[in-house]
A and B are shown apart, each in its own frame.
Chain A
C-alpha cells in the first residue's frame, strides 16, 4: 500500500469523529465529488462515505430466549402468533425465520397465495412493542416437566433477542423478466408474460457492497447500521461469491458478495424492519442496512465514487430458465438504464420496476451520516477481512 498518496487509518478517522471534525458524505453525494475533484483530492477531503439499502431480505431472522417459566419447559415446538419458530436448541432458545408462514396459511393452494402473516411480521410486531402470543409445547423431562405454555409476550419481556441474518445486502442482483406466455409471481415481484416488464433489486450506487467492491474495509466486526440500530457484520453471508465476474472497474456483473449481520433486536425499530407478504411467493422481511466506508486512500475514493452508469447486471428469464436452474444472461443493463424506467432487450422497450426502496436506502445513508457526524457512531476495525472468507 506504499504507493498511495493519501493514507489514513480508521483510528485517525475515529479521532476526527471524537473531535467533531469528520467529513462524511453519502455514496450518492460522493459520485459528484469524485467526478469534480478526482479520487486523490476527494480522499484527502472526505473521511467516510455512508451507504444504504432497504430491501426484502429473506435470509433473516431472530434468535430469542423467551425466559424460563414455573414449572420450567424444554420447548420442542414453539409458535409466535401462530408462526412456527425453530426450537431445536436449548430449553427456551428459539429462532424465528423471516419467511416462515403462519401455520394455517393457505400457502399457494389458491395461486397466487397472499402470505398475509409470517416470521417477518412477527419480528416487525415485536420491535414495534406489540404483544405476541407464545405457545410452547414439550414432551416433558424430569428437569423440565412442563408440557405446554401459552402466554402473551413482548420484546421487552424477553431476556435475549438478537437479529441474526445469514444473508443480507447482496452485492448486485439479477434483473428479472418472464418469457413465458403466462404471468408469474416471484420473489422479484409480479412478472407479466412475454417479457412485458422487468424488475430489479438493490439500491445501485447507494448499495453497500458496490462501494467497496473488493471488501478492502469490510469484514468480521465491521460496525454497521442495522434495522435502525448499530449492528455488526459477523461473517460473509451464505452464497458469498467473491470470484464473480467483474467489470473493468472491479464491480461484480452479477450476484457477488453477501453479508451475515447481527445486532440487538431490542434496539431496533419497525421503520427499518418491515414484515412482507410477497404475492405467490411467501413471507419475508425488509431490512435497512448501511455500511460506512472509511476513505483510507484514493482507491477507496474511486470505488465509492461509482455511479449507476458504472454498475451493470444481467437480465434473467424467471419464466422458463430460472425455474429449471438454468439462469443465463439474456443481456446486460446498467442501473442507470434500470432506474430510467425502461430498458431495451432485442429491440423491444421494456418497462422496469424496482423491488428495493431507493427512498429508504437514501434515508439509511443519511441517518448513518448524521450518526457519525454527531459522534454517535464510530468506525470499527474488521478482525478478519471478507475477501479472505
Chain B
C-alpha cells in the first residue's frame, strides 16, 4: 500500500468535472481531503492524501496530469529547523497525520515528511518555533 499527500491545482475549465471520483473508479485509489478551496477566478486547489497500490497511484497521478491537473508534492513545504527543535513533543499532540511522532525509547521527535499534509498546526504550536513554512501562503489564504 502506498500513500502520499499531494496538492492538486485544477484549472477553471475542469473544476466542475468529477476527476477525484475517477481516481476511485478507474484506479482503485482512496482519498482523504485535507483542504479544498475554489479561488475567485474559479481555479480549484485540493490537498489530499492519496492511497492505493504503487502502480495504481502512479497511473492515477498520470491521469491527473493528462486531464490538466497540476500535481505538486506538498510535503517539502514544511521544514524543521534542526537547530531549534529540542524534541519536547508538543507538536505530536496537534499533528493530524502522524507525520510528527515520538520515537521510543529515545523519546525524540521524528518528522516523516511524506506523511505531512502541510496543515501548519505544528508551526504555531511549536514553542521553539522550529517548524517553518516554505510555502506560497498568499495563494492558500486568498
Mark A residues whose CB is within 8 Å of B.
54-56, 112, 114, 116, 189-192, 197, 199, 274, 276-279, 284, 286, 339-341, 351, 353-360
Among the listed B84, B89, B92, B125, which residue makes an inter-chain contact with A357, where contact means beta carbons less than 8 Å apart? Answer: B89
Contacts of A277 in B (CB 8 A): 127, 129
Identify the closest chain A residue to B93 (Cβ): A353
Q: Is the CB of A354 within 8 A of B107?
A: yes
A197 vs B93: C-alpha distance when bound (angstroms): 7
Q: Are A358 and B125 in contact (CB under 8 A)?
A: no
Q: Which residues of B are found within 8 Å of A360, using beta-carbon distances? A: 86-87
What total of chain B residues lie within 8 Å of the partner, measured CB to CB?
A: 19
Q: Given contacts A191-B93, A286-B128, could you give 4 more A-B pairs where the C-beta distance is less than 8 Å?
A: A189-B90, A189-B125, A355-B88, A357-B86
Pick 19 A–B contacts, CB within 8 A, sort by A.
Answer: A56-B127, A274-B84, A276-B127, A277-B129, A279-B124, A279-B125, A286-B86, A286-B128, A340-B104, A341-B102, A353-B90, A354-B88, A354-B107, A356-B88, A357-B86, A358-B106, A359-B87, A359-B106, A359-B108
C-alpha gap A356/B107 in the complex (Å): 10
Question: Which residues 70-125 in B have Cβ within 8 Å of A in the complex?
Answer: 84, 86-90, 92-94, 102, 104, 106-108, 124-125
Is A359 within 8 A of B90, CB to CB? Answer: no
> Are A341 and B104 interface neighbours, CB within 8 A?
yes
Known: A341-B102, A359-B87. A190 touches B127 (CB 8 A): no
- When distances are taken between beta carbons in the complex, the residues of chain B under 8 Å from A353 are 89-90, 92-93, 102
Specify the main secondary structure of chain B where it touches its partner: loop
Q: How far is the CB of A177 from chain B (nearest CB, A)?
A: 11
- Among B89, B102, B128, the residue within 8 A (CB) of A276 is B128
Complex CA–CA separation, A78 to B86 (angstroms): 31
Q: Which residue of B lies closest to A56 (CB)?
A: B127
Shortest Cβ distance from residue A320 to the other chain B in the assembled complex, whole angstroms: 19
Task: Tell me which of A116, A276, A278, A351 has the highest count of chain B C-beta atoms within 10 A of its own C-beta.
Answer: A276
B residues neighboring A (CB under 8 Å) = 84, 86-90, 92-94, 102, 104, 106-108, 124-125, 127-129
CB contacts (< 8 Å) of B84 on chain A: these are: 274
Inter-chain CA distance A54–B92, complex, in Å, is: 18
A190 touching B90, Cβ below 8 Å:
yes
Q: Name B87's closest neighbour in chain A (CB-CB).
A: A359
CA distance A340 to B102 in the complex (A): 9
Looking across the interface, which residue of chain A has its beta carbon closest to that of B109? A359
Report how far A114 CA is from B104 CA in the complex, Å. 30
Question: For A112, what are the chain B residues with a Cβ–Cβ distance below 8 Å?
Answer: 124
Write out the residue numbers on chain A whose beta carbons fall within 8 Å of the beta carbon of B108.
359
Contact A359 B129 (CB under 8 A): no
Contact at A355–B86, with CB atoms within 8 Å?
Answer: no
Given A189-B125, A286-B127, A339-B107, residue A274 in contact with residue B93 (CB < 8 A)? no
Q: How far is the CA of A175 from the CA of B86 in the complex (A)?
A: 21
Contacts of B128 in A (CB 8 A): 274, 276, 286
Residues of A near B124 (CB, < 8 A) are 112, 114, 279
Bound: A360/B85 CA distance, A: 10
- Determine how close the nearest CB of chain A comes to the CB of B105; give it in whole angstroms: 8
- In the complex, A274→B127 CA distance in Å? 9
Q: Are B86 and A190 in contact (CB under 8 A)?
A: no
Kindly list chain A residues whose C-beta atoms are within 8 Å of the C-beta of B102: 341, 353-354
Provide the residues of chain A in CB contact with B104, threshold 8 Å: 339-341
In angstroms, Cα B107 to Cα A344, docked, is 20
Nearest chain-B residue to A354 (Cβ)?
B89
The residues of A that contact B92 with a CB separation of less than 8 Å are 353
Q: Is B86 in contact with A274, judged by CB distance below 8 angstroms?
A: yes
In Å, the complex CA distance between A20 and B125 comes to: 46
Which residue in chain B gives the minimum CB-CB distance to A113?
B124
Most buried by B among A276, A284, A286, A353: A353
Whole-angstrom distance between the Cβ of A273 and the nearest chain B Cβ: 11
Residue of A nearest to B127 (CB): A276
How many Å from the CB of A104 to the closest CB on chain B?
18
* Bound-complex Cα distance A354 to B86 (A): 12
Are A355 and B87 in contact, CB atoms less than 8 angstroms apart? no
Determine the distance from Cα of A221 to Cα of B87 in the docked complex, in whole angstroms: 31
Q: How far is the CA of A161 from the CA of B142 in the complex (A)?
A: 47
How far is the CB of B70 from the nearest CB of chain A, in Å?
32
Task: From A56, A190, A358, give the contact of B87 (CB < 8 A).
Answer: A358
A26 to chain B, nearest CB (A): 14
Chain A residues near B94 (CB-CB < 8 A): 190
Residue of A nearest to B84 (CB): A274
A356–B87 alpha-carbon span in the complex (Å): 8
> Which residues of A sit under 8 angstroms from B125, Cβ to Cβ?
189-190, 279
What are the residues of chain A within 8 A of B89 when measuring CB–CB?
353-357
